[in-house]
Amino acid sequence: MSKTPRVAAIHDLSGFGRCSLTIVIPVLSAMGVQCCPLPTAYLSTHTGGFTGNTFLDMTDQLAAAMAHWKSLQLTFSAVYTGFMGNARQMELAADFIRYAREWGSLAVVDPVMGDHGRLYRTYTPEMCRAMAALAEEADLIVPNRTEAALLLELPYEEASALSPEDAVRQLSRGGQRSVVLTGVSTREGGTGAACYDRSDGTVSFVQRDFVGRAFHGTGDLFASVLTGALVRGGSLRAAAELAAEFVELCAAHTAPQDLPLREGIDFEPLLGQLARRARGGKGDKA
């Protein structure tokens, strides 16, 4: 049996713009983790800053691929979900998590729905309700502040006024799931995350410099590194540290290039560094 951790990744594939599977696959691979994609949709570009993108809904393929994998009794270290095309896909993802959990799999749900106080263009209220139901299945959720408000069913301003500690505790639903809330700033010029670890009930913070601008794809980059570090045996806090550090590194590399924001965060040249950090450095016990 291979010792390489294996992750089932349920996200969209956007051809241009750097997000979801074009981040998840290279990041997990660089970290020494086998990524098995279950694409929810193919889009020519992501939906942030581009108009006229194509959208091929892959719900039927998703259901068929999951059924095939179940028939093969495939096992995974984690199921990691992100951007969904419709509410049905979230039900399928929840069902797949329940299957994989029987074999000991961790469920990481990035409840991708929006950012900066606004829903992504393709998300409907019905999809947000389905995402909340999917998040019920999670061992760990990784919302940004917009998604936290949606999960807490609070107006954005009200949710943002909660202290990060209160927010993650409320999002944990009485300690049922771990939470890494992103977009948390604890000092001037800083950004990072608040982490609620359900294994010991503690809240901790990771904080790095906010460099440049809010590049597209940073949420996917953060959650992918986090997931990779966790399945390699790191603690939640160490995994969040590594994720925040790598996002900062990539932001510092991207900022001076002055690329259009919609082209995303220029992480590819830094994957070698991530691979070295994942193998030996802080953020990973393996």
Q: What are the residues binding ligand PXL (CB under 6 A)? A: 12, 14, 19-20, 43, 46-48, 83, 112, 120, 217, 219-220
E-only strand ranges, 111-250: 114-115, 118-119, 140-141, 178-184, 190-197, 202-209
Distance CA 163, CA 216 (A): 25
Which sign, positive or negative, has the C-alpha torsion 18, 63, 100, 193?
positive
Q: Which is nearer to ligand PXL, 12 or 284 (CB)?
A: 12
CB of 175 to ligand PXL, least distance (A): 28
Q: Which is nearer to ligand PXL, 130 or 162 (CB)?
A: 130
CB of 286 to ligand PXL, least distance (A): 28
Distance CA 219, CA 143 (A): 9
Q: Which is nearer to ligand PXL, 43 or 211 (CB)?
A: 43
User: What is the per-residue burial (b if ≥16 Cβ within 10 Å, else e) of 31-61?
Assistant: bbbebbbbbbbbbebbbbebeebeeeebbee
Q: What is the dihedral of CA 100, 94, 86, 50, to 10 degrees?
A: -60
CB of 282 to ligand PXL, least distance (A): 26
CB of 268 to ligand PXL, least distance (A): 16
Q: Which is nearer to ligand PXL, 165 or 268 (CB)?
A: 268
Those residues whose C-beta lies under 8 Å from the C-beta of residue 102, and which sit 6 or more positions away, are none
Q: Which is nearer to ligand PXL, 57 or 165 (CB)?
A: 57
CB of 123 to ligand PXL, least distance (A): 9
